[in-house]
A and B are shown apart, each in its own frame.
Chain A
């Protein structure tokens, strides 16, 4: 039931959250003890009462016993609330711990794995089920300290008066275990099987009711089409779930009949003891009450055990597989990672050289970047132009170390960039990616993330705002740069247009004056005047630093010291504007065609 992987998870939880778990254990055990005690006191009350009948008046001990009984009951009720209190406390802590490990592990996962479907499936399964760990620990605690404790207590009492009951408890335990285990297994299987369909279901629902597709849904009027698809898949999923639920009900119903029969048998056994006058009235009342409760407790025990043994251990195993290898030391060191950033590891930027670099995406057989070599010197502005899918963006990801090279090498200041020091390279770059995230966080944080080591330094932030020209935008809001972007975080947040988001991304790239500024289609949704302003200020803003610009805009190419044309993952042309025009290749045709648009009288 507890294999090595599960054991590791438990050990880790105990190591880091021991006090919280102990408090919970204490509360659980106390509440169990109280229940047992209530039953025993009740026995004595009945006996004293029956003695009172013989004597004709209530003995004093009756009043004391009743009082104790009530106090115990109150404790029992109150424990319900204390239990909730304790379990909350440990749950949030355990959740925090395991989410922390998961977050850091997925952070360390290479970006290329996110293009791998199998990985994604596993990833989303684990990330959606991480909180199952704390519920596992909870059910384990209940199992050991509540259910088992109670059952051991009851069985001991049974053993004193009626040893046969021990066997009954055993039979019902085995039966319950078999039934619940079967159900738990089926549930887990269904969960795993439905992952794919569920993704489709979520996707269709999102298309149907989400904001991103809301416009097209109405313009193209394809609602009915998607609606039909959604219903079909929803209904299929629903019926599968319902079938399992009904199976579960049938089994539970069967089980309840068996339980009924066993209870009947237990009562008959009890009556046999009565017939032989083996126990007094109080003991009879105690045993009669216990028969009922012991069955319920065995039932609960099995539920906890099964969810521990089968369902959740599987989630736990998946979790373990995902996060391994990780050591306790690593977990301890997961704290302010930004403190690790110091000065530039290879000195001030002088040169970046790429030698015969190639890259192939996991799901593809075509090289996205094919045997590319070039170098980038300090102070240069290089513009990369090319068709869509020509590999420009991939090349940049290779440069920053976001994607690993399939072949070839990269040198920074003459030092080869490899697995060991890849982590350090990013400090040279300020990146404005084409696919940027619209994080719902305060504006200053959004820009500040561009250079996290500067810890949101006011001056540097202001500098970045100025360079990206977003000061007017910031001044528009009453919270200035503390305005929250988007609504996910805070309903008071503001919605930005595509162009506004993009200027924020540019500010974030400028943040902290990076050695190399890397901008991938930075002005796709920015209006021409603003774009002109950004392009015009670029050289001045760089202050002699280096820049790589990927853009369709000739404006950026004109600004560059060197232009690199890419086609099918290869570099086809390289040189200055004049050189390339003289070459008469693709760049020349590109420039001339566009020039015609602006200069010729009527073209189309």
Chain B
């Protein structure tokens, strides 16, 4: 289990964050926030420090009122004196209360704004980076971390205010306690600091443990717990009656999570033990020293009460701070993942775009491509060029590299070796796993031309072309019919969705390269034949690539290229390829032809 779980964490995740890094990130964000929301940031900082004053006032209040009452009971102080002091302290507390209220009102607005900003930046970036990042797992890890940045980001301000509070507290408490003895104050602070450091270390271990042994189990248990939420999953679990299997998995990981969680909690025993012993010593010492001082008349009884209350609060505040510093470890990682994400892709160069008089549209030379985590190259050196207006069929087995080559041409994969020159090329495509967008019919088509609005007539024209108009027109809302399950939309069949995907292709009139990756897989055979004829009749002088397993269609292409194991192995017309001995194309074609014997 140890080995396996460790793999869940990328090395970077396990590295410790130094206080230096912590403050650096803190400072960076504070500067950013100050630059962007100057007034709010300043107000938040000031208000939160002021609000901290309540602790000090409460302590002093306790001291004075206890002294007052004690004096009154011993008849050394008049009752009016107590009332006067009480009123003063109540007024002071009212002031602090108002400050707190102002802070409470300001902070949700401030946070909400900041989180929105961060979310915007992340989503903007994610939808902007090259597609190939989506092929890498590290990227996902980074995204997951960065996604938490929204909630961590505003903490920069809280971190600073916390720090200021602690400093203020140390000064105030030193002043209050120095009455006992300066050396004593030193002893207290040193022992408390020691306690804080120890508990920091232990909690840090706990955090590591959590990340390594608890959170992976949580992830799995959540996966199996929520597997039902998906309609298709539900259907397939029902079909196979495999609920027992999924439930057992869920229970197993739930138990694992629980066990590890309990172990995690056991770590706290150390912290509790150590801090308790420290607390015991410091507290006892203080109580006895101040008690003796009180009896001898050095201190008042109010001072004694105050000191005890102060020590309790000192412990809690320092404990909070330690926890905050520990979260800092996480905080820095989250935020550095966020900044890394924003930096991604910045320096990626655009593709070479030749300006050309020649009729070559795409010129590929020595093209190699390797996926981020793959062992071997998916494309192993391709030299080929395509003329304008050519109709090219791309044929090959599953996993031979067809899709990779097409993705490079489409600009989805940019980290290739070799050269790719495009001559005034603008591509559009119908992909095998085309999108089924939960929007209106009109919007679904408009997405094909970047989401810009098209006139209704144009939409109708396209729908007619792909033979979907009759169906859509029969719906009460026509082309504004909502599709999909998101909001009581109309459910389309896979074939109808496919027609819509082809409609998207037609929406972009400026495109001069079409890539069709199994564009008719979900149409029935007659419609398929019709659709192919239709697409080619509209293609005009465009360069068309199409990938199909139905070689009856490939046969009629001007040019057929066969890709096998990352290389172009055959290139020519149908007749040429059929005359090759042991050709892959020939073998595939013959095997399909048999059906029609």
Q: Verify A498–B432 contact, CB threshold 8 A.
A: yes
Verify A92–B257 contact, CB threshold 8 A: yes
Supposing A49-B304, A77-B276, A593-B526 touch, asked if A220 and B428 sit within 8 A by C-beta, the answer is yes
**CA gap between A59 and B596 in the complex, in Å:** 110
* Interface check A106, CB cutoff 8 A: yes
Q: Which residues of A contact B427 (CB under 8 A)?
A: 219
Q: Which residues of the partner chain B approach A527 to less than 8 Å between Cβ atoms?
A: 396-398, 549, 588
A256 touches B97 (CB 8 A): yes
Give complex CA distance A234, B66 in Å. 54
Q: Is the CB of A103 within 8 A of B239?
A: no
CB within 8 Å for A591 and B528 given contacts A70-B284, A389-B496: no
Once A99-B250, A219-B412, A594-B529 are accepted as A-B contacts, the answer to whether A224 and B295 lie under 8 Å apart by CB is: no
A203 in contact with B486 (CB, 8 Å) = yes
| A604 contacts B533, C-beta separation under 8 Å | yes
Q: Looking across the interface, which residue of chain B has its beta carbon closest to that of A114? A: B231
**Cβ of A178 under 8 Å from chain B:** no
Contact between B108 and A487 (Cβ–Cβ < 8 Å)?
A: no
CB closest chain-B residue, reference A557:
B595
Instruction: Name A419-448 residues within 8 Å CB distance of B.
Output: 426, 429, 431, 433-437, 439-441, 445
CB of A192 within 8 A of chain B? no
A257 to B231, CA, bound (A): 51
Contact A338 B245 (CB under 8 A): yes
The answer to whether A159 has its CB under 8 Å from any CB of chain B is no
A389 to B433, alpha carbons, bound, how many Å? 19
Q: Is B494 an interface residue (CB 8 A)?
A: yes
* A598 with B593: CB separation less than 8 A: yes
- Contact at A73–B486, with CB atoms within 8 Å? no
Q: Which residue of B lies closest to A54 (CB)?
A: B74
Residues of B within 8 Å of A199, CB to CB, are 486-487
A71 — which chain B residues lie within 8 A by C-beta? 280
Among B82, B451, B527, the residue within 8 A (CB) of A274 is B82
Residue contact A81 to B86, C-beta cutoff 8 Å: no
B332 CB to nearest A CB, Å: 23
Question: At the interface with chain A, which of B38-46, B115-123, B171-179?
Answer: B115-123
Contact assessment for A341 and B241 in the assembled complex, using a CB-CB cutoff below 8 Å: yes
Instruction: Please state if A49 and B525 are interface contacts (CB–CB under 8 Å).
Output: no
Q: How far is the CB of A595 from chain B (nearest CB, A)?
A: 4
Residues of B near A531 (CB, < 8 A) are 549
**Interface presence of A191 (CB below 8 A):** no
A602 CB contacts on chain B under 8 angstroms: 556
Contact, CB under 8 Å: A552 / B525 = yes
Question: Does A85 lie at the interface of the complex (its beta carbon under 8 Å from any beta carbon of B)?
Answer: yes
Query: Are B525 and A554 in touch, CB under 8 angstroms?
Result: yes
Q: Which residues B513-535 have CB closer than 8 A to chain A?
A: 518, 521-529, 532-533
Q: How far is the CB of B262 from chain A (nearest CB, A)?
A: 7
Q: How far is the CA of A68 from the CA of B231 in the complex (A)?
A: 61
Q: Is the CB of A103 within 8 A of B288?
A: no
Is A63 located at the chain interface by the 8 A CB criterion? Answer: yes
Question: Shortest distance in angstroms between A535's beta carbon and chain B's nearest beta carbon?
Answer: 9
Instruction: Select the stretch in B22-30, B218-226, B456-464 that faces chain A.
Output: B218-226
* Contact, CB under 8 Å: B265 / A88: yes
**Interface segment, one of B124-132, B159-167, B381-389, B416-424:** B124-132
B346 / chain A contacts, CB cutoff of 8 Å: none
Residue of B nearest to A284 (CB): B69
CA distance A361 to B591 in the complex (A): 40
B158 sits at the interface (CB 8 A): no
Q: Given A96-B254, A196-B487, A227-B123, are A599 and B593 also a contact pair (CB < 8 Å)? A: yes
Are B234 and A114 in contact, with the CB atoms below 8 A?
Answer: yes
A316 CB to nearest chain B CB (Å): 18
In the assembled complex, A222 has its CB within 8 A of some CB on chain B: yes
Q: How far does the Cβ of A82 sit from chain B's closest Cβ, in whole Å?
A: 9
Q: How far is the CB of A151 from chain B (nearest CB, A)?
A: 21
Q: How far is the CB of A472 from chain B (nearest CB, A)?
A: 11
Closest to A208 in B: B127
- Tell me whether A216 is interfacial, beta carbon within 8 Å: yes
- A384-430 with Cβ < 8 A to chain B: 385-389, 400, 402, 426, 429
Chain B residues with CB under 8 A of A487: 137, 140
B-facing mask of A82-124, CB < 8 A → 1, else 0?
0011001100110110011001101101010011010010011
CA gap between A524 and B591 in the complex, in Å: 17
Q: Which of A366-380 contact B (CB under 8 A)?
A: none
Q: How far is the CA of A352 from the CA of B4 in the complex (A)?
A: 48
Q: Which residue of A lies closest to B292 (CB)?
A: A58
Contact of B105 among A196, A250, A389 (CB under 8 A): A250
Contacts of A264 in B (CB 8 A): 90
Residues of B550-583 at the interface with A, using a CB-CB cut-off of 8 Å, are 550-553, 555-556
From 249 to 305 in chain B, residues with beta carbon under 8 angstroms from any chain A beta carbon are 249-251, 254, 257-258, 261-262, 265, 268-269, 272, 275-276, 279-280, 283-284, 287-288, 291-292, 294-295, 297, 301, 304-305
A245 lies within 8 A of B272 (CB): no
Report if A593-B104 is in contact (Cβ < 8 Å); known contacts: A66-B288, A208-B123.
no
In the complex, A267→B85 CA distance in Å?
12
How far apart are B286's CB and chain A's nearest CB, in angstroms? 9
Is the CB–CB distance between B291 and A225 below 8 Å?
no
Whether A246 touches B109, Cβ cut-off 8 Å, given contacts A220-B508, A525-B432, is yes
A359–B496 alpha-carbon span in the complex (Å):
20
Q: A67-B284, A337-B244, A338-B241 are in contact. Are A220 and B553 (CB under 8 A)?
A: no
* A595 neighbours in B (Cβ, 8 Å): 596
Smallest Cβ-Cβ distance to B130: which chain A residue: A218
Instruction: List B residues 383-442 near A (Cβ within 8 Å).
Output: 396-399, 407, 410-412, 427-429, 431-435, 437-438
Is A2 among interface residues, defined by CB-CB distance under 8 A?
no
Interface presence of A238 (CB below 8 A): yes
C-alpha spacing A77/B320, complex, angstroms: 13
Query: Which of B220, B493, B536, B591 is within 8 Å of A389, CB to CB?
Result: B493
**Would you call B542 an interface residue if the criterion is a C-beta within 8 Å of the partner chain's C-beta atoms?**
no
Nearest CB on A from B375, distance (A): 11
The answer to whether B288 touches A209 (Cβ under 8 A) is no
User: Are A111 and B238 touching (Cβ within 8 A)?
Assistant: yes
Q: Is B318 an interface residue (CB 8 A)?
A: no
Distance of A410 Cα from B244 Cα, bound (Å): 28
User: Least Cβ distance of A274 to chain B in Å?
Assistant: 5
- Contact of A168 with B by CB under 8 A: no
Contact: A241 with B112, CB < 8 Å? yes
- Rounded to whole angstroms, the CA-CA distance of A591 and B524 in the bound complex is 12
Contact of B229 with A by CB under 8 A: yes
Instruction: Give min CB distance, B505 to chain A, whole Å.
Output: 9
In the complex, chain A residues 578-592 whose Cβ is within 8 Å of any chain B Cβ: 586, 589-591
Asked if A205 CB lies within 8 Å of chain B CBs, one says: yes
Question: Which of chain A's residues has its CB closest to B319's CB?
Answer: A77
The chain B residue sitting closest to A200, CB to CB, is B486
- A553 surroundings in chain B (CB, below 8 A): 595
A81 B596 Cβ-Cβ under 8 A: no
Contact with B along A484-502 (1 / 0, CB 8 A): 0001111110000111100
The reply to whether B105 and A234 form a contact with Cβ atoms under 8 Å apart is no
A78 in contact (CB, < 8 A)? yes
Contact of A74 among B243, B258, B276, B435 (CB under 8 A): B276
Most buried by B among A92, A103, A275, A589: A103
Residues of B within 8 A of A23 (CB): none
A207 contacts the other chain (CB 8 A) = yes
B297 and chain A: residue at smallest CB distance: A53
Asked if A120 meets B223 with Cβ closer than 8 Å, knowing A52-B295, A452-B242, A554-B595, the reply is: no
Contact partner, A209, options B90, B123, B237, B595, Cβ 8 Å: B123
With A92-B254, A431-B240, A552-B525 as contacts: A280 and B73 at CB distance below 8 Å: yes
Asked if A308 CB lies within 8 Å of chain B CBs, one says no
The 6 A-B residue pairs with the shortest CB-CB distance, nearest first, are A225-B451, A388-B495, A597-B552, A499-B398, A595-B596, A209-B126
Inter-chain pairs besides A85-B265, A209-B126, 20 sampled, C-beta below 8 Å: A71-B280, A81-B268, A114-B235, A196-B487, A209-B123, A215-B407, A220-B450, A222-B446, A222-B447, A226-B451, A242-B108, A245-B112, A250-B105, A288-B66, A338-B245, A388-B495, A437-B232, A445-B245, A452-B240, A590-B524
